[in-house]
Amino acid sequence: MFVIILLLCLTVFMIFLRNYMRKRSYHWKKLSEFPGDRPLPIFGNMLQLGFDADESAHKLLALWEKHGKQNFRFSVGSDHWILLTEPDDIGTEIYKAFEQNAAMRPFFGNSVSTSEGERWKSVRKLMTTSFHFKTLEQKINDVNKHCELLFEIFDSYQGKETMDLYRYLRPYMFDVVCASFMGIESNKLAKLDDAYLKASAKVIKILTYNFFSYWRNIELLFKLTPHYTEMTETIKIIKQTSTEIIEARRDILHKTIEKPQSNNINVGTDVEKLIESKVNNGECLLDKLLLTKSADEKSISDDIINEELTFFCFTSHYTTAMTISHTLYCLAKYPEIQDRVYEEQRCIFYNNLHKNLTNNELYQMKYLEAVIKESIRVLPTVTKIGRQLHNDFTFKDGRVAPAGSSVIIFYEAAFKNPKVFPEPEKYIPERFLKPIDKFAFIPFSAGRRSCIGYQFAMVTMKATLSNILRRYEVLPGEPGTEPQFVGRIITESKNGLNVRLIKRML
């Protein structure tokens, strides 16, 4: 018994000694220049977050307020975070550091979101032309086409019952993404019980819990739980969907290439030109991944293509669907602002509200764009972006974030910063009609690792919302269906997002 007590005492002593030495170190000296609560040995501050990851955002916001609504420090075990909420610091070169993506890697592998070095550079360069403004007109046509299918469903709800926007906008956006970038028709909107839709609905919650539920980082323990089984089954389904997309497009390409081979004597030249045009026109992202070869004539492996597709298809459809849904919710909540959006549409379309929009009309929708941005500010689509520093970083005020620590762009707090957004609790789209600090609002990040699909996302969201709002008036859902928003990796409502629709008289 005495030996056990002695061992426990020695263990406790070693823990406190290690903690004391850590605090005496250069690393801790620099970290302590930022406000923050005193971390406990071993645990850091993580017990302050509790055991419900869905509550972590609220608790971090409370700490931000406690420490003066400024950048602050927070420790999770031995990992130290500096949460950034000031434009001057968000706008520094920090966003060029490597991301801390351990929680994402099981889902998306070494995709453009998590890769570094040559893999990241080559894939990013290859994908860039598919997001060029010259390709946007066709993307708008894809939105118009799929909106017609969406409206067949919406019409059945109009004036009757509450409808969950997530249920329909997620498959709608997945169909748009597949048509615009994968060159296939996925038809998820006609298959609402599709395995991919069910699995992808779980991804954000699992990612958030993996990131904030620290016990899940104990791999041996985590693998013994049903949570691990759920995660592996979810990953298998979303990756299998990417495999099916690759096979479907490859089959289309084979048939396209076989045509000149069977009808033309200049087979080699024609096929080369066909492949070159598909790689260079930038219209179909998947064609570029399937047909591009390296200097030594090697094709990109299916494993790499699968990782890129799994990440791109998930993030592009999920984030845009959430933002469109949240914007419609805000417009239902603030009908006077919805009226202003509708009046802008009437002015642009000269009362010809049933016509398909083009890029020219889309460019004129300044107020609608401000509404989308204000909706993102109030309900940040992506709540945080993390970067791990490989070297010391000096802020403009002279404080130093030491190498090995993580900097987190804390959007939920940054977008509530009263120094940048006066009366942040109010929904005021007009604030985005005036110039603001360019780093005060960067929901798609900035710099070389910024979101490659920013233009596509904004065009798709504006076009979809224009089509919906010209056709329907959006009202709040029935009492008892109010959304229960949680700040996961992406903001979403735990009980869906319910509204009612009334068809406008065109």
Structural domain containing residue 430 = 34-503
Kindly tell me if the per-residue pLDDT of 404 is higher than 60.
yes
Answer yes or no: is 1 within a domain.
no
d(CA 100, CA 217): 14
Answer yes or no: is 23 within a domain.
no
Answer yes or no: is 21 within a domain.
no
Query: Are 314 and 238 in contact, with CB atoms under 8 Å apart?
Result: yes
d(CA 304, CA 459): 28
Count Cα neighbours of 154 within 13 Å in the Cβ-side half-sphere. 25
CATH number at residue 203: 1.10.630.10
Answer yes or no: is 11 within a domain.
no
d(CA 110, CA 93): 23
- Convert the pLDDT of each residue in 101-126 to its tens digit: 567 788 888 776 666 667 777 777 77
Answer yes or no: is 199 within a domain.
yes
Answer yes or no: is 20 within a domain.
no
Higher pLDDT, 223 or 335: 335
> Considering only CA atoms, which of 494, 469, 426 is closest in space to residue 338?
469
Specify binding-site residues for heme: 451
Quick one: average pLDDT of 213-236? 84
pLDDT at 96: 44
Query: Are 323 and 461 in contact, with CB atoms under 8 Å apart?
Result: yes
Give the residue carrying structure tokens 């802008």.
344
pLDDT at 394: 86
d(CA 226, CA 408): 30
Query: Are 432 and 370 in contact, with CB atoms under 8 Å apart?
Result: yes
Kindly tell me if the per-residue pLDDT of 99 is higher than 50.
no
Question: Which residue type sits at 241?
Answer: T
Query: Are 489 and 100 in contact, with CB atoms under 8 Å apart?
Result: no
9 sits in the region (left: phi over 0; alpha: psi -120 to 50; else beta) called alpha
- Convert the pLDDT of each residue in 185-217 to its tens digit: 999 999 999 999 999 999 999 988 887 776 676
Helix (H, G, I), strand (E, B) or coil at 292: coil
Report how many domains make up the chain: 1
Strand 472-476 vs strand 72-76: parallel, antiparallel, or unpaired? unpaired
d(CA 278, CA 30): 52
Kindly tell me if the per-residue pLDDT of 252 is higher than 80.
yes
Q: Residue 89: which pLDDT band, with cuts at 50, 70 and 90?
A: confident
d(CA 63, CA 72): 8
pLDDT at 506: 67
Quick one: average pLDDT of 425-438? 91
Q: Residue 430: which pLDDT band, with cuts at 50, 70 and 90?
A: very high
Cα angle for residues 409, 392, 406 (degrees, 5° grid): 35
- Convert the pLDDT of each residue in 300-326 to its tens digit: 889 989 998 999 999 999 999 999 999
Cα dihedral 387, 388, 394, 395 sign: positive
- Convert the pLDDT of each residue in 356-378 to its tens digit: 888 889 999 999 999 999 999 99
pLDDT at 97: 43
Kindly tell me if the per-residue pLDDT of 347 is higher than 80.
yes
Specify binding-site residues: 451
Query: Are 444 and 298 in contact, with CB atoms under 8 Å apart?
Result: no
| Greatest mean pLDDT range, 8-12, 385-389, 447-451, 483-487 | 483-487
Q: Residue 452: which pLDDT band, with cuts at 50, 70 and 90?
A: confident
Answer yes or no: is 252 within a domain.
yes
Question: Which residue type sits at 242?
Answer: S
Give the list of residues 6+ apart from residue 397 with CB closer than 8 angstroms, or none.
none
Give the list of residues 6+ apart from residue 72 with CB closer than 8 angstroms, or none.
34, 35, 36, 63, 64, 82, 83
Minimum mean pLDDT among 96-105, 293-302, 323-332, 382-391: which range?
Answer: 96-105
pTM: 0.88
d(CA 11, CA 428): 56
pLDDT at 249: 92
Answer yes or no: is 154 within a domain.
yes
Host H or E run for residue 358: none
Query: Are 332 and 371 in contact, with CB atoms under 8 Å apart?
Result: no
Q: Residue 328: which pLDDT band, with cuts at 50, 70 and 90?
A: very high
